[in-house]
A and B are shown apart, each in its own frame.
Chain A
Amino acid sequence: MSKLQVASKPPPKMDRNGPSRREIIVQTFFSLAATASLTGCLADKRIRDDFVQKYFKDLSPEELKTTLARMEKQYWEDYGKHINVTSTPPLEGVLYGYALDLSRCIGCRKCVYACVDENNQSRDPQTHWITVLEMDKEGGVDLAKADAFYDHEEVPAPGKFYMPVACQHCENPPCVKVCPVGATWKEPDGIVVIDYNWCIGCRCCITACPYGARRFNWTTPTIPKDQINTETDYLGNRPRPRGVVEKCTWCIGRVRKGLYPRCVEACPVGARKFGNLLDPESEVRYIIENKRVLILKEELNTQPKFFYYYGL
């Protein structure tokens, strides 16, 4: 198997160093003033529009159009760029599925950073939707002994294998069941999505997800202006606000236009496969029918549409 440089540093563990005492006091006064002027804020059209925005599924086609236009305008103000916000509907007769070849994956994290790029994930603090776990070949798949923070010069490390984990797009998703406001749901094509403008940030879904797939915006996400991906989808990679949950959407805006998710394209060893589970000719169907397939935490009846397999 080929050796490859590790693409980047492992995901940083969160640091606990806050701002200094002085800073806190100064900032507190500013924020108190800000809070006090909340009523004034509501007079601000943007804040008011955000506050009263309806639930995505309740939007009429007309309202959806104005909502998308409003977002484009807000992003223009924030990033000084035209960011195209679309909302591509699901395709008929499609149920997406994903397959990943455990015997090929070398743990290089190229998919992780391609995903960050494509999906406008926060660079500071760093948000990753894909977690690559390193485990011992001897021990097999054993999450209790997995290391998500490995930091080698070169991968794969001897005696190790790698298991990337992201949202499994469960057919029976516990995260959807627990959401108190219905801010997350399963689309007809099987993709589990979140309405970032409806999520209240309670983090029930993070607790419910058995795959650690969901990410919370603990503070305002930042994306450098020159790194922003301007082709976005309402339910996918548009920039997210603070205080809401996000996760992998299988690049919903791309796949509904017939493209592959970015991680599939980025993988240097071709470990990642994607396709329509309902199409008997598709690659994922071939894999499920002909390879040794494994799904994570089968006993929980979440029925992931993400299949690990041993291709070699």
Chain B
Amino acid sequence: MAFLGGSRTYYLWLALLCVCILQAVFAYAHQFQYGLITTNMRDSVSWGFYIGNFTFLVGVAAAAVLLVIPAYVYNWKPIKEVVIFGELLAVASIIMCLLFVSVDMGRPDRFWHLIPFIGHMHLPQSIMAWDATVLNAYLLINFCVATYLVYCAYHGKKYNPKIVVPLVILSIPMAIGIHTVTAFLYNGMASRPYWNSAILAPRFIASAFCSGPALLLILFQILRKISSFEIKDEAIHKVAEYMAYAMALNLFLFGAEVFKEYYSNTHHLVHYQYLFTGLHGESSPIAPYAWMSLLFAISSFVLFIVPKTRMNPITMNVGCVLIYLSVYIEKGIALIIPGYTPDPLGQIYHYVPSASEVRVAIGVFGIGFLIFTLMVKVAVEILFSKKGQPAHD
């Protein structure tokens, strides 16, 4: 059992995750018994924290592609070794996405209505049905590639590029696809002017290309410390450089959106006003987060665009954390809630997640991190069992 054995920190980490999961089981059981009334979502704001987390994690999953492109397309050595972790991260993120959708469903027992042939998928019209399809396909592809690579390494064989390369190439447009389709889910709602903007999908992609790698960079440094996993500084700096460009694009697109709304000053401006200031003299509970997210985005951009701070391990890690928080707030709070507030009839319901929602969400992250930790543990044991000998060399 490759996921057994390890340091004390490793076991403490696993124990912490189990606690997270266990307390969430209680919260979810309560929700299961009483219905979604245990959340603070209501008819006015009918998607909240769960779907916000879902959207964020789709982005993390899509970001694996950022590592895949240079590694396989240009056959660029330093990154190739780390691609597999991108793929594992994608697998764990998609599983978390599916869990978030499941806990958000009013009738989880009817999930089978969404299964092709058995149920009744409303294709091609429903973007939600498309989203379910592409997410599952993406999960399958990444799972297969990662498992195959690890399997080959385990048997000391060289992997067959004829199998891996086409799948990996396919996963590139699919990664863009999952995030685009998720963006379209919001984008296509003419009833919600806040989302009904053509640059929503590009904005999703740009922010994903910041947040996913931010997580991986930290992981690589941990792995480098605790295992014989070797990753060159050059690779880390290259990824960080990409993130700087992605953040630049993200900020630019955001600026374009803000300009359009504030300059044209139509009725649709209310949603941005709710996000940043509040409406009718009442302050909005999400405004502080909106400003925090913006501040984090700008400061991390500065940290990553200046070569000196990008190469300095401390400032780089600070930047990673800031990026991660910024995108998390942006996707989890700033995207969903103002879209619903005020609602189509002009009524304002101040949504903040209930304790129960937060607890369930912590549990879903716990499950995702647990899966990711165990998968990485296995992969590291197998791929790097011989010191300095990455298996797919």
Contact = CB atoms under 8 A, between A and B. Distances in A.
B26 A28 contact: yes
A131 interface: yes
A27 B30 contact: yes
Contacts of A90: none
A241 B109 CA distance: 13
B122 A207 contact: no
Contact of B267 (A131, A144, A146, A243): A144
Contact of B346 (A27, A144, A180, A181): A144
A210 B35 contact: no
Contacts of B29: 28, 31-32, 35
B110 A198 contact: yes
Which of B36, B104, B107, B343: most chain A CB closer than 10 A? B107
Nearest to B39: A218
B111 interface: yes
Interface string B17-33: 00000000110011011
Contacts of B346: 133, 142-146
Interface of A: 13-14, 16, 18, 24, 27-28, 30-32, 34-35, 51, 55, 58, 125, 131, 133, 142-146, 148-149, 165, 174, 177-183, 198-204, 206-212, 214-220, 241-245, 300-301
25 contacts: A16-B354, A18-B38, A28-B26, A55-B113, A143-B345, A146-B346, A177-B126, A179-B126, A182-B120, A199-B106, A200-B105, A201-B36, A202-B105, A203-B46, A207-B189, A207-B192, A209-B344, A215-B43, A216-B106, A217-B106, A218-B36, A218-B39, A219-B34, A243-B35, A243-B107
A222 B44 CA distance: 21
B121 interface: yes
Contacts of A13: 349
B40 A16 contact: yes
Interface of B: 25-26, 29-30, 32-44, 46-47, 101, 104-107, 109-111, 113-114, 119-122, 125-129, 132, 185, 188-192, 267, 270, 340, 342-347, 349, 354, 356
Contacts of A215: 43
A293 B104 CA distance: 40
CB-CB nearest 3 A-B residue pairs: A201-B106, A243-B106, A210-B191
A202 B105 CA distance: 5
Contacts of A16: 40, 354
Contacts of A181: 113-114, 119-122, 129
Given A200-B114, A212-B345, A243-B36, A24 B106 contact: no
B107 A51 contact: no
B342 A204 contact: no
Contact of B345 (A30, A58, A148, A241): A148
B74 to A, nearest CB: 38
Contact of A300 (B47, B119, B190, B345): B190
Given A148-B345, A148-B347, A178-B188, A216 B36 contact: yes
A143 B270 CA distance: 12
Which of A165, A202, A241: most chain B CB closer than 10 A? A202
B126 A178 contact: yes
Contacts of A241: 107
Contacts of B114: 180-181, 200
Interface SS of chain B: helix, strand, loop or mixed? loop
A211 B114 CA distance: 27
A144 B342 contact: yes
Nearest to B34: A219
B348 to A, nearest CB: 10
B30 A212 contact: no
B38 A178 contact: no
B40 to A, nearest CB: 7
A146 B345 contact: yes
A25 to B, nearest CB: 8
A149 B189 CA distance: 26
Given A146-B347, A203-B46, A55 B35 contact: no
B33 A34 contact: yes
Given A28-B29, A31-B33, A202 B104 contact: yes
Contacts of A125: 37
A149 B132 CA distance: 38
B34 to A, nearest CB: 5
B287 to A, nearest CB: 19
B285 to A, nearest CB: 13
A51 B29 CA distance: 20
A245 B46 CA distance: 11
Given A215-B43, A217-B35, A242 B345 contact: no
Nearest to A207: B189
B110 A178 contact: no
A211 B42 CA distance: 15
Given A143-B344, A181-B121, A214-B43, A35 B107 contact: no
Nearest to B27: A28
Given A180-B128, A182-B122, 15 more contacts: A31-B29, A58-B120, A146-B345, A181-B113, A200-B110, A200-B113, A201-B106, A207-B189, A207-B191, A210-B190, A217-B35, A218-B37, A219-B37, A220-B35, A243-B35
